[in-house]
Amino acid sequence: MSTDTATLPVGRYAYDQVDRTFLSQRVAQFREQVGRRVAGDLSEDEFKPLRLMNGLYLQLHAYMLRVAVPYGMMGADQMRELAHIARTYDRDYGHFTTRQNIQFNWIRLEDTPDILERLAGVNMHAIQTSGNCIRNVTCDEFAGAAADELLDPRIHAEILRQWSTLHPEFSFLPRKFKIAISGSPHDRVAARFHDIGLVAHPGPDGRPVFDVFVGGGLGRTPIIGVHLRDNLPEEDLLAYLEAVVRVYNAYGRRDNMYKARIKILVQALGVEQFREKVDAEFAQMNRADYRLEPAIVEGIRARFGIPDLDAPADAARKLEADRKADARFDRWVRTNTHTHRHEGFISAVVSIKPDGGIPGDVTADQMDLIADLADEFSFGEIRVTHMQNVVLGHVRKDRLRDLWRRLEGAGLGTPNIGLVGDIIACPGLDYCALANARSIPIAQKLSARFANPELQENIGTLRINISGCINACGHHHAGHIGILGVDKRGEEFFQLTLGGSAENDVAIGQIIGPALPEDETVDAIARLIDTYLVLRNEGEAFIDTYRRLGAASFKDAVYAPA
């Protein structure tokens, strides 16, 4: 099949007929399984694993469908289909998650085969969004655009997607398995909090190589991934990862679900012994079967559409003038954009965290608008981020102000990226069947309290992450301020952790004391932030002050209110 580059979707992989046939067969199979369940031919115990294989959970209020967005990339056509699903089959909204997926919270079992069919129509699906398999591979939201990028990680993310999808050996691992890949020296994917984290860069001869981290994770036992090896050659990428997952599949614990993740195995064996086992497996494999020849990689790369980056010579100057003319726009550019590799372009971050809003929630109309804006301003390409925001990757600088105006008009122009309002929150007890406490209301109260953009900018970089239970879907351990919901006799309490980070300065937050009742939590965090404002040195962000002074200075603020 020839690839006509002019018609390829920008920024994502173009499915071929084989991919499409496979998806429609899967939908037909699930339709039949639903039919058998409804007819009573399958019991719930028999049916549950089948629905989970299609991303369908039973949550607190209804079924929840988790749709994969491979490495966070999608097209305007796909976003419009998600809007249609939200409008037709849900309650007019969807929810972006920290794993670059979208979840729908009010789905009917009866409708699910139709929804999956509609998704398949735009080359999307919910396969491997649940279960003990290799989940959606996540990637840098500025991939292929960032000025600091060394290698576009999407090509290898797509190769890993193809390798891991329905991998016969890895469909029943001891536990779920998550891989993240970055192509920038600045870790924007939380590589060290994944089962496998890959950092790609060019090797000595210019060919891609990978630094490999393994056994990181959050959840009940938060662990920072250990460094397994450097400079893994591209041609051995699949063989080596296959060896890692094989060792895990062979030795990972299956007797205790809470000790089943690869992080427990790596800790139990020690990194030396784990590495030896991987190396032994790697040495005896028939590596030729897995070899990623440059031609294969180029074949994958050729199925990605490339944006035609052509900007007028004065685009950057026009943006400077626009910023001078409008202080509010200038603020948004400061907080919500990222430097592009092309001087005439910029990446724009659309905050899905309006003041007092629900982090990650988007209405059907907003999805349609984002799709339209992607078509008009960014080659029809959209990224969802692990911070629950949306990125338009390639916006011409001279058109940025037009984009901002349109976003503002739809409540999508909040200038808070990286600031206190940009809170990660899992669905918590409002939706999640596993939760101990609500996450969303805390996020709403905090972002409303710190809504003033000048105050937010003054406070500076601050990552607040909230999870409704120990599973840590909201990455609380990785927050500068982490908030964990706990249950005490049916009532909600919140435990605070300080000092976590998922970036290059990776750290697990430390618990600072007993959990607080719901109605005291937001005030305690406000006092914590006030304390930092008093104690900070010139130029320090919250995390710097915390690291300089330690927890003690902050403990008093939390537990001994004036």
Partner 1 sequence: MDVRNNRRDMTGASVITANRLLDGRIVWLAPQGWSEAISQARVFDNAAVEDAIRQARAADANTVVGIYGVQLDPDATHITPLTVRERIRAFGPSVHPDFAPVETSHVH
Based on the shown chain and the rule CB under 6 A, indicate whether residue 54 belongs to the binding site for ligand HEM: no
| Distance (Å, whole) CA 142 – CA 339 | 9
Based on the shown chain and the rule CB under 8 A, indicate whether residue 530 belongs to the binding site for partner 1: no
Binding ligand SF4 (rule: CB under 6 A), the pick from 58, 306, 434, 541 is 434
Measured from the CB atom, is 41 or 310 closer to partner 1?
A: 41
| Distance (Å, whole) CA 292 – CA 383 | 27
Ordered strands of the 381-384 beta sheet = 73-75, 381-384, 390-396, 345-350, 337-339
Based on the shown chain and the rule CB under 8 A, indicate whether residue 62 belongs to the binding site for partner 1: yes
Closest separation between CB of residue 62 and ligand SF4, Å?
15
Note whether 305 and 9 are within 8 A (CB): yes
Q: Which span (105-113, 143-151, 262-270, 407-415) binds partner 1, by CB under 8 A? A: 105-113
Among 452, 448, 451, 512, which Cα is nearest to 476's?
512
Based on the shown chain and the rule CB under 6 A, indicate whether residue 467 belongs to the binding site for ligand SF4: yes
Based on the shown chain and the rule CB under 8 A, indicate whether residue 63 belongs to the binding site for partner 1: yes
Based on the shown chain and the rule CB under 6 A, indicate whether residue 97 belongs to the binding site for ligand HEM: yes
Choose the one of partner 1, ligand HEM, ligand SF4, none that binds residue 444, judging by a C-beta under 5 to 8 angstroms depending on kind.
partner 1
Based on the shown chain and the rule CB under 8 A, indicate whether residue 211 belongs to the binding site for partner 1: no
Based on the shown chain and the rule CB under 6 A, indicate whether residue 116 belongs to the binding site for ligand SF4: no
Measured from the CB atom, is 183 or 468 closer to partner 1?
A: 468
Which neighbouring-strand residues pair with 229? 212
Choose the one of partner 1, ligand HEM, ligand SF4, none that binds residue 492, judging by a C-beta under 5 to 8 angstroms depending on kind.
partner 1
Three-state DSSP at 374 gives helix
Measured from the CB atom, is 290 or 431 closer to partner 1?
A: 431
CA distances from 176 to 170, 380, 407 (A): 10, 32, 37
Based on the shown chain and the rule CB under 6 A, indicate whether residue 217 belongs to the binding site for ligand HEM: yes
Based on the shown chain and the rule CB under 6 A, indicate whether residue 472 belongs to the binding site for ligand SF4: yes
Residues 6+ apart with CB under 8 A from 425: 358, 359, 360, 388, 439, 440, 442, 443, 465, 466, 474
Site for ligand HEM in 244-273 (CB under 6 A): 261
Choose the one of partner 1, ligand HEM, ligand SF4, none that binds residue 261, judging by a C-beta under 5 to 8 angstroms depending on kind.
ligand HEM
| Distance (Å, whole) CA 135 – CA 157 | 12
Choose the one of ligand HEM, ligand SF4, partner 1, none that binds residue 109, judging by a C-beta under 5 to 8 angstroms depending on kind.
partner 1
Based on the shown chain and the rule CB under 8 A, indicate whether residue 61 belongs to the binding site for partner 1: yes
Based on the shown chain and the rule CB under 8 A, indicate whether residue 90 belongs to the binding site for partner 1: no
Based on the shown chain and the rule CB under 8 A, indicate whether residue 52 belongs to the binding site for partner 1: no
Note whether 15 and 97 are within 8 A (CB): no
Binding partner 1 (rule: CB under 8 A), the pick from 217, 441, 460, 509 is 441
Ordered strands of the 179-182 beta sheet = 138-139, 179-182, 196-202, 208-214, 226-233
Could you give phi then psi for residue 334, rounded to 5 degrees?
-60, -45
Element (H or E) spanning 78, and its range?
helix 76-89
Dig out the tokens for 400 from the structure: 């940025």
Q: Is 393 exposed, middle or buried (0-12, 13-18, 19+ CB in 10 A)?
A: buried
Closest separation between CB of residue 232 and partner 1, Å?
41
Choose the one of partner 1, ligand HEM, ligand SF4, none that binds residue 193, judging by a C-beta under 5 to 8 angstroms depending on kind.
ligand HEM
Q: Is 265 exposed, middle or buried (0-12, 13-18, 19+ CB in 10 A)?
A: buried
Measured from the CB atom, is 466 or 525 closer to ligand SF4?
A: 466
Which neighbouring-strand residues pair with 73? 383
Site for ligand HEM in 426-445 (CB under 6 A): 426-427, 432, 434
Based on the shown chain and the rule CB under 6 A, indicate whether residue 219 belongs to the binding site for ligand HEM: yes
Which residue ranges make up the site for partner 1 (CB under 8 A)? 37-38, 40, 43-44, 58-63, 91, 106-110, 358, 429-431, 433-435, 437-438, 440-441, 444, 487, 490-492
